[in-house]
Amino acid sequence: MNKQMRTTITLGFLLFANLLFAQTDISQESSRIQYVNQAKSLDDLFDKFRGHLIYVDYWGSWCGSCLEEFNKDSELDTFFKTNNIIRLYIALEKTEKDSALILQSMERWRKLVEKYDLTGFNYYVQLRSEFFRGITEKIMKGKLSLPRYSIINENGEIVDRDAKRPSNAKGLMKQLSAYMKK
């Protein structure tokens, strides 16, 4: 099979997988876990939530520290819901070239989202992709560093590239409060 045909098949699988996991409504009331449609760039993804304060959790299924941060805190969950703050989880996953491996990776990601009940919006990114390069340039200053958290204001602007972790719930709520419209 030639390279062009493999690329076409892989893109077809990715499109199918994205349609399978896609949700477009940003109302957190309609579903606890939602999957975000394909986005061209980090800015494009943030534009989907324009008008809302966004807390972004960059994680990977291979990152033990990331998974530890998924412990639930009911006070923090209530704070997010009460203040209509969007929780956006961006999984940064190993680059797979084979379409079957890509689908396995996406399925592993989906199972972890459900296992840890990642209430909010979930997005899957392969390492070394254009989208990933945008994350490392805009958020991580050129170097992959997980877990990582950021805050995006209502205009889609990055206002904090190194936000507090969920395990520091009090500090995070204070930090988010500083960016909320008065």
Three-state DSSP string of 56-100: EEEECCCCHHHHHCCCCCHHHHHHHHHCCCEEEEEEEECCCCCHH
How buried is residue 24: exposed, middle or buried, by Cβ count under 10 Å (0-12/13-18/19+)? exposed
Beta bridge partners of 124: 91
Kindly tell me if the per-residue pLDDT of 9 is higher than 90: no
Residue 138 is part of a domain; what is its CATH number?
3.40.30.10
pLDDT tens-digit readout, 61-120: 999 999 999 998 999 999 999 999 999 999 999 988 888 999 999 999 999 999 999 999
Q: How far is the C-alpha of 169 from the C-alpha of 57, rounded, in Å?
A: 14
The pair of structure tokens assigned to 10 is 């892989």
Domain membership of residue 69 as a residue range: 3-23+31-179
- Provide the number of structural domains found in the chain: 1
Give the model's pLDDT for residue 28. 45
Give the model's pLDDT for residue 170. 97
92-124 in b/e form (b: 16+ CB < 10 A) is bbeebeebeebbebbeebbebbeebebbbbbbb
Give the model's pLDDT for residue 69. 97
Give the model's pLDDT for residue 182. 60
Give the model's pLDDT for residue 6. 55
- pTM here? 0.83
Kindly tell me if the per-residue pLDDT of 149 is higher than 80: yes
- Pairing label, strands 158-160, 148-152: antiparallel
